[in-house]
Amino acid sequence: MGVTITGAALDARDRTHVWCRVLDADPHCPGCQIAGELRDHTDRALTDVPISGHPVILHAAVPRFVCRTSDCPRTIFRGRIDHIAPARAVVTARTARWILQRIVVDKMSVAAVAANLGITWGTVNTIALDAARALVYDGGHLDGVRCLGVDEHKWKHVRGQGDSSFVTVLIDLTPVIDGTGPARLLDMIGGRSKQVLKTWMAARDQQFRDRIKVVAMDGFTGYKSATAEELPAARVVMDPFHVVHLAASKLDLCRQRIQQQVCGHRGRKDDPLYKIRRILHTRTELLTDKQKIRLFESLTSHDDHVAVEITHQIYQELIAAYEHPQRREGKKLMYKILRRIRTGLPAGLQELAQLGRSLWSRRADILAYFDVGVSNGPVEAINGRLEHLRGIAQGFRNLDHYILRSLLHSGQLATRINAL
């Protein structure tokens, strides 16, 4: 650190105090940049990394100099010790790195880190957030991104908040496609709209925008429009998760409608369709013999159940197209399915008809998956990790804090922090 220790002691609060003298302070005046004349030393107390679990206070004897330049407005100044701690900092430079390592690498809470250092939660939080900003927004965090994932995330579960409780999440999918590592969180923006994403993309430099080749997203047309306007050369992919999820929701709506028509009430435990509500969402190949028998008996127990049976069949065919070992053949199967359900369906299949119209309007984005192989699966995984982060923090109120803490948690910053 560039100091020599001159003394040490313990206080009543079990903190270790270390006194030291700075060996290589910068003697140049910040006003005129001319070396000053040594006057005396002043004590600067800094929190340092813990020793054996005990908080450490470093008392650095910083030299003070006298500026003899006649036209310089400064008379007395302290020598700069930026290699130990920046100006007006209350912790040493290596302590700031230690804080990030504990939060990012060891997944410690801010409260636990603050207890180890013997300083307040607010001080540790401010240091972590400032360091995160420097790493993410000024440290080349966006370099090398070619495949981008976009999705929404609910960061605050409070009624009546509208879109203010949502953020738009941007994920770097390039490591997954290249096989070099997991996806990483790039940024989060308050709100979920076309304008939110468009503004973020417009704020990036042209080199970054030209480098993006693929953008994976859900079925929200606002994200698609923003991408088409700001990244016209990028290929939009509607990922399989949301396609299958949309088909599953239509299957549920069809089952609930037929349930009401046949039984006159919502599902009960002995109702045929209610008993198979979970089995309907499971791939046929994964069902046991007993489940297959129950599925067959329930679907054939009433003539009106044929609508559920047909919708379930289309749902299974969509999954089979995605699971085909050869993407070219899977693409052909998907196109045939979309074409078959886009129009002209018999009466009584209104949910399937809605699904067909929705998927046909996005057919180019759906079929693009089979060409590029990029999906939003890793995005959903990171969304789950952010839900866990929000849970262990018992809720966030400040969106800026939540975004930066999420970047520390899921931004794959460990290697860059260790290199500081």
pLDDT, tens digit, 9 for 90 and up, residues 55-94: 999 999 999 999 988 888 888 988 888 888 888 889 998 9
* Rounded CA separation 286/292 (Å): 10
Q: Counting Cβ atoms within 10 Å, is residue 66 exposed (0-12), middle (13-18) or buried (19+)?
A: middle
- Residue among 22, 108, 99, 120 nearest 65 (CA): 22
Task: Give me 39's structure tokens.
Answer: 């006057």
pLDDT score, position 231: 93
pLDDT score, position 13: 83
* Rounded CA separation 308/326 (Å): 29
pLDDT score, position 143: 85
**What is the pTM (predicted TM-score) of this model?**
0.73
pLDDT score, position 395: 64
* Rounded CA separation 389/385 (Å): 6
* Rounded CA separation 353/359 (Å): 10
Task: Give me 21's structure tokens.
Answer: 């003298």
- Residue among 257, 245, 247 nearest 352 (CA): 247
Kindly list the distances between the CA atom of residue 249 and the CA atoms of 118, 295, 369, in Å, as whole numbers in the listed order: 52, 18, 21
pLDDT score, position 279: 93
Residues of the chain with pLDDT under 70: 138-139, 159-163, 392-395, 415, 418-420
